[in-house]
Amino acid sequence: MSEMIRIDDANCRQFLDQAALDAAQQRISASLRTLQERSGPGSDFLGWVDLPIEARDNLAAVQSAADRLRSSSDVLIVVGIGGSYLGARAVIDALRPPFASGGPEILYAGHHIDGRYLRALLDHLEGRDVSLNVISKSGTTTEPALAFRVLRRLMEKRYGKTGAAKRIVATTDASRGALRKVADEEGYETFVIPDDVGGRFSVFTPVGLLPIAAAGIDIAPLLEGAASMRTLNAHADPARNPSFHYAMLRDALYTAERYIEVLASFHPQLQYVTEWWKQLFGESEGKEGKGIFPAAVSNTTDLHSMGQYIQDGRRSLFETFLFDAADDAAIHVPSAEDDTDGLNYLEGSSFADINRNAMRGTALAHRAGGVPNASIELNGITPATIGALLYFFETAVALSGYALGVNPFDQPGVEEYKRNMFALLNKPGYEERGAMLREQLGTR
């Protein structure tokens, strides 16, 4: 078992008999063989498997660019959507202190279409030195392309074309696409998104590593943590391979008609890890009428809202707790002479211990309420453990997808909303579809 990640499934066992677990283990064993042999659907998108080793070759170039951005910028804006920004944000939020003042402020654009946000961002940039890392394989994805158009104009107006070019780094295709064309024409420094790595698996490419390094996080141990998990993935044994163990539990619970997974973090800095996880599992599994719906909560905050549903609602879900078992934050409950709040019984207790017991109490309560739950316990929140955690999830979703009989590496359903949006916006070539949609909406 990994020293950095441990799975505790004690609160699942009463819901699954041994026959169900044995059958799930056989399915995940078959999935692991498919992944190792690279013989399943989407096998041309398995470049992520070797990234913890291969990405080390590019560390010097990535770190050099990151150091330049750090030294010249008050603000670095990461322009991207989905896998083009979520992995970096997950790592940065997990590892950078929430009130850190050193190094550039890391902000995000192009991850939605909201003019008020972009207007507020432009106002926030007044009087600050700004750099951009624009991330897009094609350069034509609507959300980041719109944001980049606005921000590029700001940069060129403020610094001139030559000055702006020194402050814009493009992470894109090696040889084709709109962003590659602009980058070559304008002289931007560029990094390549590998052809065999899908967006949601790209955190260990320059897509994630450049902004993470620019935030001041050491990317070498991040990759080392991922590499340690890669080594464990050779074992078709839940006792030795955490990714296998987690995928096996999910498969058994899905077969038992538990169709919703709630990933519950007890640490606010892991909120964007759960957001990244939602994209990874939602896009990888949700196909052909199959898959577990990924939902996430942030506890103990959401125990005062979603906790009611989890405890007493429909029994179609299961829960996975994400918890730092090594939390040793040195803050303790002080005494109060009047004890008006009735908390003197906790005097001297650490917040870490209180949070740990909140997690344990929640797990027991939800189990009693009919909700199977397991925990993913981290040995600290460090670059190495976060690297291991992300690679753990990437492997688990590949195993889960193959066990479902779907291609875990495509996302055909993502395109449908785009076609409708383009038609309603009168994009050339979509006129007929636009007329049909406006008729459905009752407008012309």
> What span, in angstroms and rounded, lies between the C-alpha atoms of 351 and 345?
13
Question: How many CA atoms within 13 Å lie on the side-chain side of 208?
Answer: 32
Q: What sign for the dihedral angle of Cα 91, 95, 98, 100?
A: negative
> What span, in angstroms and rounded, lies between the C-alpha atoms of 113 and 140?
14
Determine contact, residues 196/44, Cβ cutoff 8 Å.
Answer: yes
Determine contact, residues 371/320, Cβ cutoff 8 Å.
Answer: no
> What span, in angstroms and rounded, lies between the C-alpha atoms of 406 and 251?
13
> What span, in angstroms and rounded, lies between the C-alpha atoms of 350 and 331?
6
> What span, in angstroms and rounded, lies between the C-alpha atoms of 407 and 397?
11
For 70, residues 6+ apart whose C-beta sits below 8 A from its C-beta are 76, 103, 104, 214, 216
Closest residue by Cα to residue 260 from 316, 299, 188, 320? 316
> Helices in 38-84 by DSSP H: which ranges?
51-54, 59-72
Where are the extended beta strands (E) located within 167-208?
A: 168-172, 189-192
For 224, residues 6+ apart whose C-beta sits below 8 A from its C-beta are 52, 384, 387
In three-state form (DSSP H/G/I as H, E/B as E, the rest C), the secondary structure along 366-435 is HHHCCCCEEEEEECCCCHHHHHHHHHHHHHHHHHHHHHHCCCCCCCHHHHHHHHHHHHHCCCCCCHHHHH
C-alpha distances in Å from residue 53, one per residue of 49, 56, 226, 233:
9, 6, 9, 14
- Strand 168-172 and strand 105-109: the pairing is unpaired
Intra-chain end-to-end CA distance of the chain, in Å: 61
> What span, in angstroms and rounded, lies between the C-alpha atoms of 202 and 116?
29
Q: Which residues are catalytic?
A: 283, 304, 418
For 49, list phi and psi in degrees, rounded to 5: -60, -40
DSSP tag of 332? B
Q: Is residue 165 classed exposed, middle or buried when 0-12, 13-18 and 19+ CB atoms within 10 A define those classes?
A: middle
